[in-house]
Every structure is written in C-alpha cells, then in structure tokens.
C-alpha cells in the first residue's frame, strides 16, 4: 500500500511539473517569444524586411524617374525571390507571399498574376474547343502585358565561435524594364540574428 501511495505521489508531481499553457499574442509579442526559442527566420523577420523593401522602392530615385517618364501606374510581373541561403527550410514562400501582398496593398502597381495567367490560358483554350457558346467565349490576346519585372534573391552568411552564432541575411530585389531590358532599381534589406548556446542547450 505504501508503494502504491509513493507511485501516485510521484505521478502527480510529474504531471504538475509538465503543465502546459498557451495564449494568443500579437505579431510583436510573437516575434519576441520566437527569439527565446529559435534563431531561425520567423514571420516577424519577413514582415520587417518586406516593409523596408517596399519603403525603399517608393523612395528610389530611379523608380521615381521611371514613373515621371511613363506617366502611368506601372503593370508589374512579380518573379520569384529565390532562397540562396544554406538553410533548406528557409521560408522563402512566406517572403514571396508577403511581398505580393504588400505590393498589392501599396496601390502603386497593377499586378500581373503568373499563376492566374496560366489558369486563364487553360480556360480560354477550353472555351475555344467547342464546349462553350462562341458568343460568350473570350478571345486570346486581350491580356495586359507587364511593363516591369521584379525578382530577387536571399543570401545568408553565418559565423560561429564558442557557441555564439551570427547570421547575416541579405534580401536583394531588382526591378527591370521588360521592353528595354534596363534596370529601373536595385535595393536590399539586411537583417542579422545573434544567438548563444550553452553547453546544456539553449
């Protein structure tokens, strides 16, 4: 009986020590908490660098000259921002999505959606295969061509010594005039992440 009581007491103590608590937090608090858990790239990093890049574009002298010369809202094709870091699980899709969302919400551009264009072409082909009333079928060649193309890369230079690590990220964006092939702007955002790891873990 005494042994059973001891086992129950130990089980209760372990259960109490392994209690779990969760709460909803805003993006700022989430970013702070993430830094206590990991030195990997997190959502707050994505939001920070994309916001800086959008601001850099709006202030860029080359882009301002292009706008003055064209005299219209530019139509932009967003190419892929590629992950050229050594981190296989770097969330490059998050950066691409955030960049698209911010470009769209800025109101300074007309976006050409690459994935939508492919699906539209399939739909137009279907409509002209005799499956749709010719009077309602849409014509090929009515889509708007892009004036500018935006693409870029993400790099990361790591350095580690005695349990201390610094990761220096560079997010580089380029904008090119599709008709002339001339570069309209080039900008980048930098972000560094420092971490220390003790011999017993984080």
Give the count of beta carbons closer than 10 Å to the beta carbon of residue 199.
Answer: 5
* pTM greater than the 0.75 cutoff: no
pLDDT in tens, 113-134: 666 556 555 655 655 566 665 6
Closest-CA residue to 153 (of 87, 81, 53)? 81
Cα 167 to Cα 192: distance, rounded to the nearest angstrom: 5
pLDDT in tens, 66-86: 999 999 999 888 888 999 999
Contact 171, 156 (CB under 8 A): no
How many CA atoms, within 13 angstroms, populate the side-chain half-sphere of residue 134? Answer: 1
Q: In the predicted model, what is the mean pLDDT of residues 168-196? A: 92
- Predicted pLDDT at 41: 87
Handedness of CA 65, 69, 74, 76 (dihedral sign): negative
Facing residues of 150 across strands? 78, 175
Report whether pLDDT(17) > 70. no
- Predicted pLDDT at 152: 93
The residue count for the chain:
202
Assign a CATH topology to domain 27-131+139-196.
Answer: Rossmann fold (3.40.50)
- Predicted pLDDT at 53: 94
Report whether pLDDT(140) > 60. no
């Amino acid at each position: 009986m005494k042994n059973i009581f001891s086992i129950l007491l130990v089980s209760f103590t372990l259960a109490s020590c392994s209690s779990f608590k969760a709460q909803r937090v805003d993006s700022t608090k989430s970013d702070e908490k993430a830094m206590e858990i990991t030195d990997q790239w997190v959502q707050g990093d994505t939001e920070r660098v994309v916001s800086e890049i959008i601001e850099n574009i709006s202030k860029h002298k080359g882009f301002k000259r292009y706008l003055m010369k064209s005299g219209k809202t530019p139509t932009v094709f967003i190419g892929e921002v590629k992950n050229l870091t050594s981190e296989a699980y770097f969330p490059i899709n998050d950066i691409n999505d955030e960049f698209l969302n911010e470009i769209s919400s800025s109101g300074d551009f007309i976006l050409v959606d690459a994935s939508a264009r492919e699906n539209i072409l399939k739909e137009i082909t279907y409509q002209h295969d005799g499956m749709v009333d010719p009077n309602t079928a849409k014509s090929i060649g009515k889509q708007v061509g892009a004036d500018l193309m935006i693409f870029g890369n993400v790099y990361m230079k790591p350095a580690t010594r005695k349990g201390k690590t610094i990761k220096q990220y560079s997010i580089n964006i380029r904008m090119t005039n599709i008709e002339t092939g001339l570069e309209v702007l080039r900008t980048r955002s930098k972000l560094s992440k420092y971490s220390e790891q003790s011999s017993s873990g984080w």
